[in-house]
């Protein structure tokens, strides 16, 4: 959406025409002679970022940090809104019959949520704050639940999104309004966790600077705050408060080795991934699809490329 609207996302800048699309499911049309785990006709979720597999980051397992990673729809690499694309087989994951094509396309954003939960240490009994109830916030809610979080609270400025969050398993939601001061908002978060409690782990999924501040202020002393959403590059943060209370601050970028987990989670049937598919368009109506997505009218807008 950033590329389409502004030609830029974070530090990545579109310098020549680029095909969009990176949350993708596909059907295998052909395989190379050494591919053993896939055959023609298999339905797959494609991990869009393929690393070099040679550098020190790749060799030590943090391949999401590879400087030579080639990612669908990240300049200068084209995306997947095409009838056919070539993909390295090891980054294509077969989905079972119980996962349909729309759900398979959601394995990518679900993997973002799996990565942030793994990285921040969400586990059985975790009390979790998620700021932002957009798609990534909602997938993070699902993933945190799957990892055993016992209390999950979401914040957003949009009551419709919070309603969906409650339907999909949030214990409580907090509507953020302009009238609320930061202090009042922190108090509301503490209240939501009950009796002097605060979140063990806060996952910032909105990219809003006010939320980057909130997660540092609201997380319990010794807890973890992780920045998942991407907003403006420079933000003023209450860093002294976080330091003296030993709040661990983490970043998260994409995912590494999370697709198998996300496929298994989708296959379990326990997640309502479909609840996020708000609009569906044929390929010829791509432009309309992007307009709807940009308007914020829905959650996930599905574009069907093939008949």
Contact 203, 154 (CB under 8 A): no
Q: Which stretch binds Zn ion (CB under 5 A): 29-37, 45-53, 247-255, 278-286?
A: 45-53
Q: Which stretch binds Zn ion (CB under 5 A): 49-57, 134-142, 146-154, 223-231?
A: 49-57
The least CB distance from residue 89 to Zn ion, in Å, is 18
Which member of 31, 52, 286, 292 binds Zn ion (CB under 5 A)?
52
Question: In this complex, which beta carbon is closest to Zn ion, that of residue 53 or of residue 159?
Answer: 53
51 counts as binding Zn ion under rule CB under 5 A: yes
Nearest to 203 by CA among 250, 169, 170: 250
Binding pattern to Zn ion, positions 3-42, x when CB under 5 A? ----------------------------------------
The residue written with tokens 């339907």 in the block is 167
CA gyration radius for the chain?
A: 20
64 counts as binding Zn ion under rule CB under 5 A: no
The least CB distance from residue 53 to Zn ion, in Å, is 6
Q: Report the DSSP pairing between strands 12-13 and 8-9.
A: antiparallel
Interatomic CA distance for residues 246 and 3, integer angstroms: 37
- Residue number with the shortest CB distance to Zn ion? 66
Interatomic CA distance for residues 58 and 12, integer angstroms: 21
Beta-ladder partners of 300: 277
Which member of 18, 38, 55, 235 binds Zn ion (CB under 5 A)?
55
Q: Which stretch binds Zn ion (CB under 5 A): 43-51, 189-197, 275-283, 299-307?
A: 43-51
Interatomic CA distance for residues 292 and 111, integer angstroms: 24
Which member of 58, 136, 165, 205 binds Zn ion (CB under 5 A)?
58
Question: In this complex, which beta carbon is closest to Zn ion, that of residue 53 or of residue 160?
Answer: 53
The least CB distance from residue 77 to Zn ion, in Å, is 15
Tell me the number of residues near Zn ion by CB under 5 A.
5
Phi, psi of 191 (to 5 degrees): -60, -40
The least CB distance from residue 65 to Zn ion, in Å, is 8
Interatomic CA distance for residues 43 and 105, integer angstroms: 11
**Tokens matching residue 169:** 């398993």
Contact 42, 25 (CB under 8 A): no
Q: Which stretch binds Zn ion (CB under 5 A): 57-65, 137-145, 221-229, 260-268?
A: 57-65
Binding pattern to Zn ion, positions 225-264, x when CB under 5 A? ----------------------------------------
The least CB distance from residue 230 to Zn ion, in Å, is 22
The least CB distance from residue 255 to Zn ion, in Å, is 15
**Tokens matching residue 7:** 């030609």
Residues 66-125, interacting with Zn ion (CB under 5 A): 66
Q: Which stretch binds Zn ion (CB under 5 A): 21-29, 64-72, 198-206, 289-297?
A: 64-72
Question: In this complex, which beta carbon is closest to Zn ion, that of residue 51 or of residue 223?
Answer: 51
Q: Report the DSSP pairing between strands 43-46 and 25-27.
A: antiparallel
- Residue 238: HSE in the Cβ half-sphere, 13 Å Cα cutoff: 20
**Tokens matching residue 143:** 């993933």
Secondary structure E strands in 126-265:
127-131, 151-156, 172-175, 201-204, 224-227, 248-251
Note the residues at the interface with Zn ion (CB under 5 A).
Answer: 51-52, 55, 58, 66
């Amino acid at each position: 959406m950033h590329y389409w609207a502004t030609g830029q996302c974070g530090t990545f800048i579109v310098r020549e025409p680029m095909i969009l699309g990176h949350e993708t499911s596909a059907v295998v049309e052909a395989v190379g002679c050494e591919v053993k785990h896939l055959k023609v006709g298999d339905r797959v979720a494609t991990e869009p970022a393929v690393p070099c597999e040679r550098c020190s980051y790749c060799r030590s397992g943090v391949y999401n940090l590879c400087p030579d990673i080639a990612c669908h729809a990240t300049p200068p690499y084209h995306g997947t809104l095409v009838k056919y694309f070539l993909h390295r087989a090891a980054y294509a994951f077969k989905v079972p019959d119980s996962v349909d094509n729309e759900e398979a396309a959601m394995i990518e954003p679900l993997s973002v949520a799996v990565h942030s939960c793994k990285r921040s240490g969400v586990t059985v009994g975790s009390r979790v704050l998620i700021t932002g109830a957009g798609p990534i916030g909602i997938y993070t809610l699902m993933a945190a639940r799957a990892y055993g979080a016992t209390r999950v609270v979401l914040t957003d400025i949009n009551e419709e999104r919070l309603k969906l969050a409650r339907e999909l398993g949030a214990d409580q939601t907090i509507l953020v309004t302009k009238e609320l001061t930061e202090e009042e908002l922190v108090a509301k978060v503490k209240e939501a966790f009950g009796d002097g409690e605060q979140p063990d782990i806060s996952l910032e999924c909105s990219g809003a600077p006010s939320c980057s501040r909130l997660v540092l202020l609201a997380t319990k002393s010794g807890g973890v705050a992780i920045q998942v959403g991407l907003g403006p590059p420079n933000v003023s943060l209450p860093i002294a408060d976080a330091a003296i209370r030993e709040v661990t601050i983490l970043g998260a970028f994409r995912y590494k080795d999370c697709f198998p987990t996300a496929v298994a989670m989708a296959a379990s049937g326990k997640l309502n991934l479909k609840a996020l598919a708000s609009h569906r368009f044929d390929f010829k109506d791509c432009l309309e699809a992007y307009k709807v997505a940009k308007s914020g009218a829905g959650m996930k807008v599905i574009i069907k490329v093939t008949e």
